[in-house]
Structure formats: structure tokens, C-alpha cells
Chain A
Amino acid sequence: MKLTRFVSALALPLLVAAAPLPDNSVYQVGSHWTNQDNKAVEIGDLRGKVQVMTFVYTYCEHTCPTILAHLKELDSRIPESQRSQVNITLVSLDPERDTPEVLKAYMADKGLDESRWTMLHGDPGDVRELSAMFGVRYRPMGHDDIAHSNMITVLDTGGVIRYQMKGLNEDLDATLEAIAEAVEK
């Protein structure tokens, strides 16, 4: 019985990947990215796991540290039984400065577990497109600041938006509930 469950757990991501994308999946954009290891990532590669996604930039001194703190707290509160089915993805809003190497160093500096956290670097047009898909707004303000929406989004395994936490002062409970529901779906 245990073996059956183990095999099913292994096969589930493959089955999800083989199924057609839901019509309302954000992965319909089909854009191509590079992760912190300089590996190519098609956005649809993220399917199969519940994704907790946000848009940041590494040299952000204003709200990004708070967003990251929220994500770390979320991560610590995800029940052990769900943890392997959830990934946290940070998309950089600054493709010019946030190269994959910079993203790698940032993750090391912040102690982000690469087995469960991902950072994405993309073409400026693809960043614009994906941010628009999430309803994220951003604008460079001078050389060292990018004003942007503070938003954490929960995607189900097919890439459908299940919940968005907008703003910095929201209770994390609702986001955790959305993650749990997406895992169980």
C-alpha cells in the first residue's frame, strides 16, 4: 500500500505535465526563462507543484525584504505533509542587473533552499507579459529603485491563480489556506 502511494506520488507530476493546460492557466503565455542555475525554464515547467509566486528585485531595500520575510514565514508554516508539493518562485523585475549569477548569490545570502525555491530571470518583454498576467504593476524610479505591487500569488498545479495576497499588512492565514486547498485539489 505504501509502495503504491509512493509510486503515485512520483507519477502525479508526470500526469499533470501530460494533461492539457487549463484555459485559465498563466502558463498559457509559454514564455522562456533562466533560473538561478543558468538553466532554461519554460514557464509551463512550473506545473505539477503548487507555486507561491512573487515579483521582486534583489537590490530592493523597501518592501522586498518584507515580502521575503512573509514568504519565509509561509514556508515555515506549510505542514510537512504538503511541503514537497509546494515551490516558491521569485521573478526578477530587473533583467539587466539581476542576472542568474546575481540571483544565485542572492539565494545563498538569504538562505533560500534551492530544492524548494526558484528565482527566474527573463527577457524584459516576458517580465512585462507575466507581470501583466498577474496584475502586477511596476516602474523603475531612478537608478536604484523599482516601484512595484506587493503581491503574493498562489497558483495551483495547473498554473491557475487561486489566491492573491495584495499589500504587506495582510494576515498570512488566508494564503496558507489557499496553499492547502491547492495542494489537495
Chain B
Amino acid sequence: MVISPALVLGFATLAGSILWAGPRPASAADDGAFREGMARVGPGSYRPLFKDEEGPRLIEVAPFLLDRYPVTNREFAEFVDRNPRWSPQNIKPVFADAGYLHQWEEQDLTEIADQPVTNVSWFAARAYCKEQGKRLPTFDEWELTGQASEDRPDGTADPAYRQQILEWYAKPAIMKLPAVQDTTANYWGVHGMHGVVWELVEDFNTALVTGESRTDSQLDNKLYCGAGAAAAVDPGDYAAFMRYAMRSSYEATYTLKSMGFRCAADAEHLAMEISQ
């Protein structure tokens, strides 16, 4: 008999050892829990790391909804239980590499239930969000949210905030991830944007950086070499460099022990719920 990870986690919940608010609704229209689990972000703007041919750009981002917390192992186990094709046993190699959900084999699921799920490919993350009636956040949405400090929508000009993020990048990968509810909220009420895991975005493969994409080798040069730094609006924004580098080298089947995700939705969902 095969016992699913979701069943194991559910049992642990009944035993009272884990704080669990219950499964998320299957669609945006189910109930208010959808809204409760998400924060409204924006409208706002952010300045991307790289300028274009006409100089520095300011990207306007329309309001949207974003999960307050990264998706946890428990939530993903429930998803896999409902959708066995995304289980480690059944997933096709075109959708994820061999490291897919590797932590489920090595660690006690009840101990990592509330930690962000990692070792999930872009295809699997996307399928999860779709099942929830959501989507992955776009590159621009993530960056807008990520520039917020605890008390400002744009903390990038605050040396203390920038230093705080840099300190995370300076540390080795966290061996034991925190429970999502133990992470810090930013201005928008979104927790753990920095210092926990890298996060997948829908359009990760837009990480071309400049318009000079006439050959693939040029793209790589623009991203990784000095030419890329020369085109940067703020060459001192090391954290943004790291995120761009991660996204530009990422392939959709890759799974990483330090890569997780959260879901987003159009702000129209919010209007729909209020009208209901």
C-alpha cells in the first residue's frame, strides 16, 4: 500500500502536531479564503536592473494579487494527491529533472510540512498555480513586490534594507528552511520574499537583459560579462544581478533545493469576489 505524502501530513495535523489552516480552495470563486491567503500588490513601478537602448526604464505594474506565503510542502503534497501525474513516481522527464521533490524521500514530511516546497520545476509550479485558479507571478510583478521593505513600497534606496538582503546572499544556502509563517512580511504583507528561497516566475525565459539578442552567444555575454554591468542602471545592486543570473541560466525542468514558488492572480479576481 502506498501512503501519499498528503495523507501523512493530514494525519499529523489530526494529531495536533502541526498548525494547519486547511486546504486552499480549488478556485478563486470558492470562498474568501482565496483573498485571505493573498495580498494585493501595486499599482507601482520599479526600475529594472538593465537599461534599454534609450536609457534607464521605469516599468509600471498594474495591481495584482500575490500569495502571502510561498507554497509549502504540505500544500504541494495535497496537489500531488489530487493530481498523481505530478508525483515523483509519475512525472515525465520533460517536466522535471531527477531531483524533483527529492526532499520527500530524505526528510520527515511532518517536519518540513510548513516549509516552502523546493525541488519543484517550473512546469510543476505552473500546474499547481493553474489548479488553484491562479498563475505564477510575472518577472515584473515579483520584482515590484521584492523591492518593498517592511515599511516602504520601495526600499531600494534604503542602505539598511539593501544590506539586509546582501547579507542573505553572502550566506551559504540554508540547510533548514523556516516555516513560511515565521518569515517577515514586507510593506505589501507578503512574507519571505528575500532570505528564504529563490522563487520561480512565469516569464523566467525573458531574462535576455538587453535588446542586442542577435545571437544566443551575445545574450550570454550581455548577461554574464562586463558588458552587462556596463549597461546596468545600478551596478551596485548585486542582489538583482544574482536574480537575473539565476533566471537566465534556469531551464524549465530544473529543480533546485533552494528554489520554490508562490502564485499570483489578476486583480480582477478581487473585484469578482467583492461583487459576489
Contacts and interface: CB of A to CB of B under 8 A. Distances in A.
Contacts of A24: 92-94
Contacts of B276: none
Contacts of A132: 122-123, 204-205, 251-252
A133 B93 contact: no
Given A135-B251, A137-B219, A28 B95 contact: yes
B171 interface: no
B196 interface: no
B176 interface: no
Contacts of A125: 135
Given A151-B216, A166-B216, A145 B211 contact: yes
Q: Report whether over half of chain B's contact residues are helix, strand or loop; otherwise say mixed.
A: loop
A55 to B, nearest CB: 11
Size range of the chain B interface in the assembly: 20 to 34
A139 B94 CA distance: 23
B111 interface: no
Contact of A137 (B202, B208, B215): B208
Contacts of A79: none
A167 B122 CA distance: 25
Q: Which of A63, A131, A148, A151 has the most CB of B within 10 A?
A: A148
A149 B216 contact: yes
A26 interface: yes
Interface string A155-167: 0000000000011
B126 interface: yes
A26 to B, nearest CB: 6
A147 interface: yes
A148 B211 CA distance: 9
Contact of B92 (A23, A128, A145): A23
B52 interface: yes
Interface string B197-233: 0000011111110111111110100000000000000
A28 B208 contact: no
B203 A133 contact: no
Nearest first, the 8 A-B pairs at minimum CB distance are A147-B213, A132-B252, A139-B206, A141-B211, A137-B205, A23-B92, A139-B208, A147-B208
Interface of B: 52, 92-95, 122-123, 126, 135, 202-208, 210-217, 219, 248, 251-252
